[in-house]
Structure 1
Amino acid sequence: MYVYAFLEDFVLLYPVYAVLFADAGLSPAAISSLFVIWSVTTFSLELPSGLWADVFSRRLLLVVAPLLAGAGFGLWVAFPSYPAFAAGFVLWGAGSALRSGSMQALVYEELERAGAAGVYARLIGRSEAVSLLAVVAASAVAAPVLAGGGYRAAGVASVAVCVLCSVAGWFLPESRGAGRAGGGDRDGVSLGSVVGEGWAQVRGEPAVRWALVLVIVVEGVTALDEYVPLLVRSTGVAAASVPLLVLVVTVGDAVGGWSAGRGVRWLAPVLAVGAVCLAAGSLSGRPGGLVLVAVAFGVFRWAMAAADARLQERIGDGARATVTSVAGFGAEGVAVLVFAGWALGSRWGGAGVLMGLASVPYVVVAVVLGLAARRGGVHREM
């Protein structure tokens, strides 16, 4: 799982693709429209992919997902234009949808069968940290690769890594009935029965609904991390320094993932601190402010792992990937609002101002969680 997580995000284009789009002549609004295409594709396939994962092989979906992303990256560097960028995001979005829900469900059920479900939050959090460390490594490697071979060299390396990730996916364990043939449907399980079971869990369990809302909001708003390279660029640094400064934020993000599972009872106040750090660091307009932004993203990563674990504890195995995909669907919907808001706001404000304003939803979540904790009832349900 850790090998898969590392290879999935050891993509040299990650820290610079927003800059690639800008260098190709795209405006901030055009770049945001690409992100919208990405999110629309992902959430359009979220629910179908969750159903497929509950009925068929989750491992097979995890094998196909990185291949689709790699094809998209290849398009970007082979034909750097808006149509190619859009097509690449469609492929990447499809791959993200196949992975979303499938990985969480596979990991939780395998841990549960081994009697170790309690370590899920730590394992998922550390897996996310490994992914982010891969981004850190990719950011460090991207600078010399870009200097020596430009975007094309970074793209070729990214495609190769995606192929290796697919190979790693084939070796993930899957003890469900579907895993025996790599893709057959489970005995006695149909798409209709999975939909019915998932709907019953969401409709009949308030704890599931609250956990879903928390995951949707926290993960959805964190889509603003796509704009970190533009935030870095807005501080006035040279293009070659962008990957290294993005690395600072990514390190903070990774630390948050590695800390997953600890201090969850302090979720509300810690989220509030993260929101303040995001606003202060973004509005500073200086490279040094990125340290505060790094702290903020670490907090958000830690909160995402806590929310995911809370959701997995409350849903049943029969429709686990489907319900998890509902959360992904909602998060992508929130992400579309984030991208649209950035596109509209870019007419009046720069990257620092827009990133600073993005702290507001986290403040709202922190306040709601704090009030719920004081009342006690909602807190117990969540």
Structure 2
Amino acid sequence: MALRRLDATPTWFVYAAAWAFVGTLSWTTAAVYFVREAGLSPLQLVLAGTALEVAYFLSEVPTGVLADLYSRRLSLVVAAVVCGSGMLVVGLAPGPGVVLAGMALWGFGWTFRSGAEDAWLADEVGSEGLGAAYQRGAQVERVAGLTGIGAAVALASVDLRLPLLGAGATAGLLAVFLAVAMPERGFTRPDRVPGPAASARAALATFGDGRREVLARPVLLAVLGVAVAVGAWSEGWDRLWEAHLLLDIGLPTFWGLDDVAWFGVLAAGTLLISFVVAAPLVARIERLEHARLARLLAALHTLLLGAALAFALADRFWLAVSAYWATTVVRSLASAPFRTWLNLGIAESSSRATVLSITNIAGSAGEWAGGPALGWVGTRWTVRAALATGALALLPAVLLLARAGRHGDLEPSAVVGEVAAGAAGEVAGEPGGEIGGPVTPGAASRG
């Protein structure tokens, strides 16, 4: 008897909820584990993320091609298995070497998810249902994330390794669910001649199709630039914001809260505020067309830059917390419209996962190139200086998104040329480099 697959939308909600739970369970208290037990320095914290990003960078496009050639569902099952294994490795024993190995495994596993999940969803619900699925899925993620935070704090109070081990086990259960219940009705596997040589030629052809679409579409070229800039900022932020609170500012001891509990409060605050702020905006954002989404994203990225800089410069706990919540809430709000904007710019479903992988790899390049530089700044000077430098790296993303919102139909060379000219005008003090328009941050962090 054949197994009955679920419909796409409820499957997406379960999938999104599971990954949100795994994410908050694994990362809410990970910084305390890395700093207190593994003894990682600011540079080592960033290098752990760099190990993840290098593995991601090297594997992203090949795994995207595989998702286009074979199966998006299979790619997502593999992602859950490998990412879960990475969490188990990180939680097995404290130490920089183990952490780097586990993070690299997580990054490799994430490449099977990256691109494939968006391609699967777009194929199953169609472009008309994509915005609603992303927006409502994001709300589901926030609720599930709160559950993960509570579990992380409870488990970490017993042993700091338990949240990582629990996240690895949960990812394994997700893999079983996807293998049994996930539908794949909208994807048609391309015809090909059996054999390794034929498979290699098909993979190269699929990659070539994806590369040509990226080069031919202005919005996808703009995405590459945005991804690099946001990646350079996000790697430093993701690895150093906890160290800034622990080492530069210090966490208060009132209300009987220890470090683990404080990070749980901060994470829960982000999700609660995001849920409340996003609720009245979901239906409106779902209906935005392409150019207006770009303007929204430009505005969000402008807010993101200001909030991240304020966090870096804050010298008091409550100022830092306010700036932290502003940064993380804006980043969360920008994720769903960014993914919608990106997918609406892709014309060919047959190479969708490959195109998404090519654009995602630009973000990875920004992360592993910018992260070590910011880690060195944090070690050479202060974590505060590294975070401030990273915040300023968001400026090119704001410029690119503002230009994309104004000139969505220009040829690629015109868009890139105008952005370059605007940036040069800013540096030279000439007119033409102003920032205008509204919104947002790229893909969700890989850790």
Pick from 163, 170, 173 the counterpart of residue 183 of structure 2.
Answer: 173
Q: Deviations over 1:23-67 (max 9, x none)?
A: 222211112111111000011110001000000111011112111
- Which residue is equivalent to 2:16? 5
| TM-score normalized with structure 1 length | 0.86
Q: Is the 8 A contact 1:143 1:243 kept in 2?
A: yes
CA RMSD of the aligned region, Å? 2.8
Structure 1 residue 35 and structure 2 residue 44: aligned?
no
Q: Closer, same or farther in 2 for the Cα pair 1:118/1:63, shift >3 Å?
A: same
Q: Which of these residues, 327, 332, 354, is aligned with residue 359 of structure 2?
A: 327
2:154 and 2:101 map into 1 onto residues whose CA distance is 28
**Partner SS, residue 184 of structure 2:** coil
Instruction: Show the counterpart of 2:212.
Output: 200
Q: Name which one, 1 or 2, has greater alpha-carbon Rg.
A: 2
Q: 1:193 to 1:300 in 2, by over 3 A?
A: same
User: Contact between 1:215 and 1:307, CA under 8 Å: does it hold in 2?
Assistant: no
TM-score by length of 2: 0.75
Aligned length: 371
Q: Is the 8 A contact 2:47 2:371 kept in 1?
A: yes
Kindly provide the amino acid, as one letter, of the partner of residue 4 in structure 1.
Y
Higher alpha-carbon deviation: 358-367 or 370-379: 370-379
Give the counterpart letter for 2:63 in structure 1: S
Match of 2:369? 337
Closer/same/farther in 2, CA of residues 75 and 268 from structure 1, 3 Å limit: closer
- Encode CA deviations 1:146-205: one digit per residue, 9 max, x unaligned: 22x212332332222112221232222211466xxxxxx532492133122112212333
Aligned to 2:423: none
1:187 paired to 2:202: no
Contact map agreement 2:26 2:152 (CA 8 A) in 1: yes
Show the counterpart of 1:217: 229
Q: Distance in 1 between matches of 2:353 and 2:209?
A: 11
Structure 2 runs not aligned, ≥5 long:
1-11, 194-201, 252-257, 416-447
Q: Provide the C-alpha distance between the structure 1 equivalents of 2:408 and 2:91, rounded to a whole number of angstroms.
A: 53
Identity percentage over the alignment? 23
- Say if 1:82 and 1:48 are closer, same or farther in 2 by CA, change over 3 A: same
Is 1:293 aligned with 2:304? Answer: no
> Where do residues 259-274 of structure 1 align in structure 2 (5 Å cutoff)?
259=281, 261=285, 264=293, 265-274=295-304
Aligned AA (1:5)? A
What amino acid sits opposite 2:169 in the alignment? A
Gaps of 5+ in 1: 179-184
Instruction: Kindly indicate whether the alpha-carbon contact (under 8 Å) linking 2:123 and 2:187 is maintained by their aligned counterparts in 1.
Output: no
Is the contact between residue 65 and residue 353 of structure 2 (CA under 8 Å) also seen in structure 1?
A: yes
Equivalent-residue separation in structure 2 for 1:319 and 1:266 (angstroms): 27
Shift of 1:244: 1.9
Is contact 1:219-1:304 (8 Å) kept?
Answer: no
Partner residue in 2 for 1:130:
140
